[in-house]
Amino acid sequence: MRSAPTILHLDMDAFFAAAEQAAKPSLRGKPVVVGGLGPRGVVATASYEARRFGVHSAMPMAQARRLCPNAAYLVPRFSLYRSVSNQVMELLGRLSPLVEPLSLDEAFVDLEAGGAASDARSAREAGERLRRDILAVTGLTGSVGLAGSKMLAKIASEQAKPDGLVLIEPGTERDLLGPMPVRTLPGVGPATGEHLRRAGMTTVADLAEAGEDELVRLLGKSHGSALFRMATGHDDRPVVAERDAKSVSVEDTFDVDLHDRVRIRVEVERLAERCVQRLRGSRHSGRTIVLKVRRFDFSTLTRSETLRGPTDDPAVVREAAGRLLESVDTTGGVRLLGVGVTGLADYTQEDLFAQAAAGEKSAGEGHGSPERAHAAEEPEPPEPEPAVERRWSAGHDVRHERYGAGWVQGSGLGRVTVRFEEPWSAVPGRVRTFLVDDPELEPSEPLPLVGRDREQPPDESPPDPPSSRE
């Protein structure tokens, strides 16, 4: 526990939804909900306008639509969120070399380590400067908590929401924590909270008054002792700059259970491709491929295969995931699939696997016959894949040859509706509808957000035709 509030916790406000509002002028000041849009989808983030209707994260999307039918419902755009997150983390890095990211929109910073603060006054100045810089660079707001420990800094940032700063002066911790519910403390989830409630403890003050011995009796030595220390305001956890990733994974929940084995295989291969993209994006490779399958009855199976060395080769990951699928019974249907890679490393050995696979293929196909081995070197051209109708998800970026940049408002019945506007548009853009297979309409990468102190698009982005700004 520090004698000065020099641990900072930043939590961006309604991050995904706020980024969408910044990117889409027509949604600013309106309810926005980001998450899975299918019947089994859940809310990832809701804007503060949507929260007034009772919408919150982890809520089933169907319930959110009933509570707030007039909100804009969008699928997540993680490439945009990662880009903005990188900008925010760079600003944090200017304050201190000790930055501990917790997610795309949340991090701890040790202000003492960077010399940015040594007392309450300098800590507050650093926090306010950070909030101004984030707004100037990204156009988004973040809430800042300052305290002498990580636990209290996080509690302070919660109190600061939205778009505020709260500083907890050392020495006031117990008075502040006392009336708070026990679930305020880290490590107290629903089960532990209910166990404590049955024992007559509902506030943090109740835990402190019960004493360490009683909490150890109820929760065990490790958990009970740690909880008592936190209830009395003690938290000595340091800010850790390097949080090494242990795995990379992607998964999809399907609106309707998948029964077709071929379709399931195709989805696994697509997930493997996406997983490798994320793996390469983190500049890692991995040794162990993991397949996750949640069946129709909610039973979840995992299968894994450890390779002889780390790889980031999409073919290797795809084929390993396919082999794992062969060992899973999908009778009755599949509602979720996931592919992951663990055992991460900073280098690859994909050449070993390519050589091994080539050797096994030659041995299996040649059967010792020179003629067959020679024929295997000149495979027949693959059959063309059947045409797949393009899917246009609400919120995704597009570009039209005539109208410029825009985003999908919705699609159905063979048509897609697009609003043409950019983050720096002064007014909401025009809406137009096209056939889903319009050759002039193509998916596009997200445009960069524009900070509050910048009114023009970046120099590298040429202005679009006037029709896109109407």
pLDDT at 397 over 60: yes
- 21 and 115: one domain? yes
pLDDT at 129 over 60: yes
Three-class DSSP category at 127? helix
- 225 and 156: one domain? no
Domain, as residue range, for 368? 247-374
pLDDT digits (tens, 9 = 90+) for 196-232: 999 999 999 999 999 999 999 998 888 899 899 999 9
pLDDT at 272 over 90: yes
Q: In CATH, what number is assigned to the domain containing residue 207?
A: 1.10.150.20
**114: in domain:** yes
H/E element holding 146?
strand 142-147
Give me the pLDDT at residue 367, please. 39
Give me the pLDDT at residue 457, please. 52
155 contacts 184 by C-beta, under 8 angstroms? yes
Give me the pLDDT at residue 347, please. 63
Residues with a catalytic annotation lie at: 106
φ/ψ bin of 58: left (φ > 0), alpha (ψ from -120 to 50), beta (otherwise): left
Sheet containing 441-443, strands listed edge to edge, beginning at the edge strand earlier in sequence: 430-435, 415-420, 404-412, 397-400, 441-443
pTM for this predicted structure: 0.73
Range of lowest pLDDT (176-185, 357-366, 382-391, 414-423): 357-366
Instruction: Tell me which of 170, 189, 214 is where a domain ends.
Output: 170
What contacts 25, CB < 8 A, 6 or more positions away?
A: 421, 423, 425, 426, 427, 428, 429
**242: in domain:** no
**236: in domain:** no
**What is the end-to-end Cα distance of the chain in Å, rounded?**
57
Q: Count the neighbouring beta carbons within 10 Å of the beta carbon of residue 336.
A: 17
pLDDT at 469 over 80: no
**Percent of the chain predicted with pLDDT > 70:** 86
- 279 and 182: one domain? no
- 41 and 157: one domain? yes
pLDDT digits (tens, 9 = 90+) for 334-372: 989 999 999 888 765 544 444 344 444 434 444 333 333
- The residues facing 11 across adjacent strands are 106, 143
Q: How confident is the model at residue 379 (pLDDT cuts 50, 70, 90)?
A: very low
H/E element holding 92?
helix 78-95
Give me the pLDDT at residue 360, please. 45
**338: in domain:** yes
- The residues facing 289 across adjacent strands are 305, 341
Of 201, 219, 202, give the one whose Cα is nearest residue 210.
Answer: 201
What contacts 6, CB < 8 A, 6 or more positions away?
A: 110, 111, 112, 117, 118, 119, 123, 146, 148
**238: in domain:** no
- Measured CA to CA, the distance from residue 318 to residue 322 in angstroms comes to 6
pLDDT digits (tens, 9 = 90+) for 74-100: 999 988 999 999 999 999 999 999 999
Q: How confident is the model at residue 399 (pLDDT cuts 50, 70, 90)?
A: very high
Q: How many domains does the chain have?
A: 4
- 298-302, 371-375, 383-387 — most confident range: 298-302
- 369 and 319: one domain? yes
- 65 and 135: one domain? yes
Give me the pLDDT at residue 455, please. 52
pLDDT at 58 over 90: no
